Structure 1
Amino acid sequence: MALDPIQIGVFFGLTALIGLLTWWQCSGGRARGSAIEENSAHDYFLAGNGLPWFFVAGSITLTNLSTDQLVGMNGNQMLLLAWWELAAVAGLFILAFVFIPVYYRNNCTTTTELLERRYNNPHIRALISIIFMLGSALIFLPAALYGGSLFMKTMFNTDVPLMLIALFFAVVGAAYAILGGLRAVAVSDTFSGIGLLSLALVVVYLALKAVDFDIVTGVPVERLSMVGGPDSPIPWPTLLTGMILIQVYYWSTNQTITQRAMAAPSIREAQKGIMAAAAIRLLIVPVIVVVPGVVAFKLYGDINDAAFGTLVGDILPPYLSGAFAAMMAAAVLTTFNSLLNSVAALYVVDIHQRYINPDVNVPRVSTIFSLVMTVAALALVPVYQNAESLINLLQELYGLGSMPVLSAFALALLFNNVDYRAAMAGVVFGVGLYALYTFWLNDAGIITMHYIHFMAVTFFSTVAFALGVNRIVFGKSASLRLGESRVAPTPAE
């Protein structure tokens, strides 16, 4: 089908406008004297601690809100998926009032730096960083490219190959991350976020109008219920087990998210930004990630991940659909470049400076690593084309790294006298346990427990295993850190 020139013109015009506004804001910030030492990893990856609260809020919101939410959650075509966003509010509160004060007090550039300080050893920091990097390379970067490309292909109803669209996102996203750094990413996130949230609410209104504001008639009750049954994507008991652990991991230990809050000039400014992001997550995001999907089910039937793009293409006039496509493209780009920026920070600070060259040229090595990750992500995009549901696949794969990593942070913050080798052994055990469940026990019907429940099993089993190794192998008795608030400093080398 031929592309509508109005859609294309509005799309490229708004995309260019966001880039221009971002350049203007970033160049203006430098002109006003916000000096950043280019070869200081802390300044380079945290924007010189110069992000005001509204850019923190905008960047956190749009880094998370991308096509894996809008396409993936709407692709389930049921209201139940809103629980992911509602539960996220609790995760943001924990980030603001538990983790952020600790990160700031210890002047952390990466979340994993906290682990080195607590365990007095750099190797566990490196292990967790490698898990984060593998998760981004194998799961989140290619999923972001695939979800964005699928949306554009279905919304524009075009025959342009999906991989060609993915290549466009990869090149532009990498350019943002490499040339602009975190400040450019955060600023573009905020401008794009305002447009995306506004137009997404317009989509919700027009979608409801298309069905005369009646999404009940003709829609099965299980697609409207917020109480998930045993066979649903989110059985209600999982809200009491693994769901909150997933939120703590994602919002409080995940470098991609916390890096934005750590780039504020103070704890209070960071907390203001996080609370603003929590308000957006509570009041706006749940509606836009589920209502269009249910409407699409009523109009087209069960069409999975094609639901959101198809609906938007049908209900929006060309000038608005082009504008919405531009905002969606911006969401894809910001998610992609945010992931690139965070994994580059982990590699440069936790691996390269520690084990290869402490006097590293930060921008140069960050650029090379970002390009390698971009190529790897593109190569894996075809894998996600075979997924029945993008969001369910992502959440299920999450447990491979999330619960073992969270166990290392829990041991570090809650216990004294834990040997770093015991914590590392626990992480390896946890990865293996969840992999065994995902790739064999569950498929073979040996363990049929829902994966969110098994995430909780993995977390507590990993903590118990590490404490056991700590006592039996290394002869150390861990004790709870009751009433303590400070983290032990890293010993001088």
Structure 2
Amino acid sequence: MQGNAVQLAVFLGLTALVALATWWRYRKEGRAADSAQDFFLAGRRLGWPFIAGSLLLTNISAEQIVGMNGAQNMLQIWWELGAIAGLLVLAKVLIPLYYRHGCTTTTELLERRLPNGASLRRTVSVLFLLGYLFILLPMVLYTGARFMQSMFQLDLPILAIAALFACAGLAYAALGGLRAIAISDTYMGVVLLVMGALVTGFALDRIGWDFSGIPAERLTPFGRPDSDIPWPTLLTGMVLAHVFYWGTNMLIAQRALAARDIREAQKGIYAAALFKLVTPLIVVLPGIIAFKLYGDIGDDAYGRLVGDVLPPWLAGAFAAAITGAVLSSYNAGLNSAAALYAVDLHLPLFNPRADGKRVGQIVQWIAMLVSLALVPLYENVESIIATLQQLNGLYSMPVLAAFFVAIFVRGADATAIRIALVFGVVLYAVFTFAWTPLHYLHLMFITFVATVAVAIGLGRWVRAPQAEAEPAS
């Protein structure tokens, strides 16, 4: 009983301390004259440490920590190391384009690159919004709640714990916007990295640094054909998934778009890439140790390990760190959804004179309620990380194909890309729900290639009659 009281006191104290530090720093920061830009992009005044911290903590949330450790094998290391490739594409290819075209959202690049690209921009924004509402946000709430329930053996329903996370995340996102999110992410990111390293250290000490008895297939980074991540997928869908997530996904790129300039954004991205070299020690290795201690217990592995190896006061600190990680991903999703709807849909289509910040806050309320209502749908999934990646393919590969064609194909046609987008979504839905001949990462690759081919083919077919109609010079 006394141990639980210590855990609760440390948890509440550290959480309050980070909130107070965030408020203090937030008040010191300047404000942009444009309230919408200040709300969605922190007035484009973020320094590289806050960009790096927010990138990392937005990514390393409960669905990553719980799901990747829950797989209990070394194959998951590729979700971390592969991220470096995605971050480099963001820094070297996409960030210069976003800044050159003055983009507020990643989807704005599509409109800037293509004649009549506004409709394509709106289509992609809708796909992002649907992905955030029905996949990302409810998954973040569910995994955070499941971790807290398994770690502290809470006698509370998953939905009740998720509701607490949702309300706290909404408070950060709606009241402080991206600036408050980035500041709190950075502070809590330091706590999470320190606490995650301590968990791994205590866990290694518990097994005496002895990995004997663990099957070899759980210790190899190269998967067999029947494994979670067969090694050939590293050359197909794995690469594309990282480029989409880190390069075109508003949830991530929004942090880099809030920098003072291109150089500051790139410095933050490079710093995040360096940290990705060590994050497997937090999100992969503990799950393998948990297999040695408890056997195959799936997504309960990390919560049980933390509860067993940490002393009570450190367990309370770790709970605060996980809370920060959950809130980071959740309020980032809320803020990105608000920006996409307000900037890409509401202002150009319904009311160009509307207060973008106010519209965004209303969207955040709606997104919070919808995502919370969908949490029960994820309570029976077998693997959190596999389910998340598989469902993301419904929109990630078609969207990535749209960006690829818009950026690299000369004379691309926006209408053709829109049709190809719909084709890609339907194709991957068939692969996911009706016919699954290959691993989902291979199917993501096939969906990407097929969507690009349809976009280019239709574009040439549309341009052919126009070329014939032009008089000879």
In the superposition, the TM-score normalised over structure 2's length comes to 0.97
CA distance in 2, matches of 1:420, 1:104: 21
Map 1:357-372; keep pairs closer than 5 Å.
357-372=351-366
Q: Deviations over 1:440-492 (max 9, x none)?
A: 011xxxx2x111011110001001111111122453799xxxxxxxxxxxxxx
CA distance in 2, matches of 1:455, 1:162: 31
Query: Match for residue 66 of structure 2?
Result: 71
Map 1:17-96; keep pairs closer than 5 Å.
17-29=17-29, 34-39=30-35, 41-96=36-91
Letter in 2 for 1:326: A
Q: Deviations over 1:209-241 (max 9, x none)?
A: 1001112x1111111111101111110001111
3-state DSSP class of the match of 2:156? Answer: coil
Is 1:177 aligned with 2:166? no
Post-superposition shift, 1:48? Answer: 0.8
CA RMSD of superposed structures (Å): 1.4
Query: Match for residue 225 of structure 1?
Result: 220
Map 1:59-458; keep pairs closer than 5 Å.
59-121=54-116, 122-215=118-211, 217-282=212-277, 284-442=278-436, 447=437, 449-458=438-447
Letter in 2 for 1:84: W
Post-superposition shift, 1:315? Answer: 0.5
Query: Gaps (5+ residues) in structure 1?
Result: 479-493
Aligned partners of 1:418 and 1:477 also within 8 Å: no
CA distance in 2, matches of 1:195, 1:237: 36
Post-superposition shift, 1:158? Answer: 1.6
Aligned partners of 1:417 and 1:477 also within 8 Å: no
Q: Deviations over 1:110-144 (max 9, x none)?
A: 00000011123311000000000000001000000
Is 1:5 aligned with 2:5? yes
Letter in 1 for 2:27: S
Query: Gaps (5+ residues) in structure 2?
Result: 468-473
CA distance in 1, matches of 2:419, 2:341: 22
Which aligned runs of 4 or more in structure 1 are off by greater than 6 angstroms?
A: none
Query: Match for residue 16 of structure 1?
Result: 16
Query: Match for residue 487 of structure 1?
Result: none
- Count how many residue pairs are aligned between Structure 1 and Structure 2: 466
CA distance in 2, matches of 1:361, 1:28: 24
Letter in 2 for 1:46: L
3-state DSSP class of the match of 1:110? Answer: coil
Aligned partners of 2:31 and 2:38 also within 8 Å: no
CA distance in 2, matches of 1:172, 1:318: 24
Query: Match for residue 468 of structure 1?
Result: 457
Letter in 2 for 1:16: A
Structure-2 change in CA distance of 1:458 and 1:315 (3 Å): same
What percent identity do the matched residue pairs reach? 53
Further displaced range: 73-82 or 357-366: 357-366
CA distance in 2, matches of 1:123, 1:43: 26
Post-superposition shift, 1:28? Answer: 1.1
Letter in 1 for 2:274: A
Aligned partners of 1:3 and 1:156 also within 8 Å: no
